[in-house]
Structure 1
Amino acid sequence: MTRKILVVDDTRNVQVMISDFLTGQDFTLLTASDGREALQVVHEASPDLILLDIMMPNMDGYQFISQLRRESSIPVIMITAKQQEADIIHGFDLGADDYITKPFRLRELLVRMRAVLRRAAPCEESKPLLSCGDITLDPGKHEVRKQGRVIELTPLEFNILEILLHSSGQVVRRADLSMRLMESGFTGSEATLKIHIRNLRLKLEDDLEQPRYIETIFGIGYRFVEAAE
């Protein structure tokens, strides 16, 4: 099945460049020039992935992600000229799945797109529930619950939690965690991984200073605390 990609950028030349390239890679392309127009396209066409410029008129990329995440988990790759860590963290905090900075190579964009789409794909293999304390993860439904309440996670956050729950009570080294995530298409650095761990803690309503769920073992990695309840 052909995947539908929504390109959101207020620069027509960028829309055309990305659209022409991805059409040649057998994707179906949709376009929008700002966040408001993009929301309308999302409602009408349900794209599989969104490539999102940040600096746009009317509704910028951050405002768009914030609105989108209230109603959808469609994966989003930020395309931005902003390279400051605070700007990137802000995008991840709002629910972006990955980012690429301008100028970028189209082949690199394609690699990141395929990686994000793989992470977002539903799990076809039947896997048992993973539970620890009041956290339950269902790989089949791609669902996480805390005390019975559904916790909305991005595909990458879900994969991180699944790996940590598989080894609950044991330390998972940062390098090993990054390597295992690469099998699902993770292309970020260990510094980027820290951002995703932080966001995961926030969604689990963990204490960032004294975590009850995901414990940092300084200089080594992370551990899901078995006694969390």
Structure 2
Amino acid sequence: MHEVLLVEDDEMIREATRLALESSGYAVRTAADGTTGLDLFRERRPDVAVLDIMLPGLNGVSLAGRIRAESRVPVLLISARNDPVDVVMGLEAGADDYVTKPFDGLVLAARVRCLLRRAAPTAPRAARLSFGDLDFCPVTLTAHRAGRPLALTTTELRLLQEFTASPGTVLTRDLLLERVWDYAWSGDTRVVDVHIRRLRAKIGRDRIETVRGFGYKLRP
């Protein structure tokens, strides 16, 4: 049974979300503030962390950053704020997904399942691949640049898998959402752009090219 860490200061929302996740088959550990949430994360090492943004003590964005600095555990942020700045800030901090309130418990559970699928090991597709100073091995899921290992998150690894499987091919944002995030996020592709920007910073900004009006492609 997968374990979910839920950090939410609103008791009613926390309990409703806990029940929804447990009814979907997850074991849920809860905390009402960011500091306790961080302690619980370090103690339990859950499979997924679901964090409210507006938390006392340590807010959700800061907590997501702390978790990302220590592990690759998928992080999902929940918030009543849907301003693009808030979404981008949360994703830049290291979150893998962002859900706005109010949300349906079943939908949230489905998003958690998507995060777990993405974090699960995938079957090898090829031997080591090289693109300039970038090397990627789909078997070991490791990447090196100029001989130095790269610390990539699960989402970044999934993106790199897609690009290296089709070098020179334009991949649309909708296609990346479907393949990497396992769902269609119609009308809002900011999550793709943010993660592409983070991946570029690690593998080289010129390695992934923007094809205006279409999407992105990896330069062979």
Structure 1 residues 124 and 223, CA gap change in structure 2 (3 angstroms): closer
Residue 31 of structure 1 and its aligned partner are, at CA, apart by: 0.8
Matched pairs, number: 218
Residue 127 of structure 1 and its aligned partner are, at CA, apart by: 4.1
Structure 1 residues 126 and 170, CA gap change in structure 2 (3 angstroms): closer
Letter in 2 for 1:76: V
Unpaired stretches in structure 1, ≥5 consecutive residues: 207-211
Structure 1 residues 153-162 or 25-34, which shifts more? 153-162
Q: Give the conservation status (yes or no) of the 8 Å contact 1:130–1:166.
A: no
What CA distance in whole angstroms lies between the structure 2 residues aligned with 1:106 and 1:97? 18
Structure 1 residues 154 and 187, CA gap change in structure 2 (3 angstroms): farther
Q: Does 1:113 align with 2:101?
A: no
Partner in structure 2 of residue 172 of structure 1: 171
Residue 10 of structure 1 and its aligned partner are, at CA, apart by: 1.1
Q: Does 1:221 align with 2:218?
A: no
Residue 109 of structure 1 and its aligned partner are, at CA, apart by: 0.5
What CA distance in whole angstroms lies between the structure 2 residues aligned with 1:58 and 1:220? 42
Structure 1 residues 130 and 88, CA gap change in structure 2 (3 angstroms): same
C-alpha RMSD over aligned residues: 1.9
Partner in structure 1 of residue 138 of structure 2: 139
Partner in structure 1 of residue 194 of structure 2: 195
Partner in structure 1 of residue 46 of structure 2: 47
SS across alignment from 1:57 = coil
What CA distance in whole angstroms lies between the structure 1 residues aligned with 2:78 and 2:173? 27
Task: For residues 159-199 of structure 1, give each alpha carbon's deviation from its aligned partner in whole angstroms, at most 9, with x where no partner exists.
Answer: 222111122233334444444335xx144343432222222
Task: For residues 33-72 of structure 1, give each alpha carbon's deviation from its aligned partner in whole angstroms, at most 9, with x where no partner exists.
Answer: 1221111111111100011000011110111112112211
Residue 222 of structure 1 and its aligned partner are, at CA, apart by: 1.6
Partner in structure 2 of residue 209 of structure 1: none
Structure 1 residues 86-95 or 64-73, which shifts more? 64-73
- 1:1-229 correspondence to structure 2 within 5 Å: 2-125=1-124, 127-181=126-180, 185-188=182-185, 189-206=188-205, 212-226=206-220
Structure 1 residues 24 and 164, CA gap change in structure 2 (3 angstroms): same
% same residue: 34
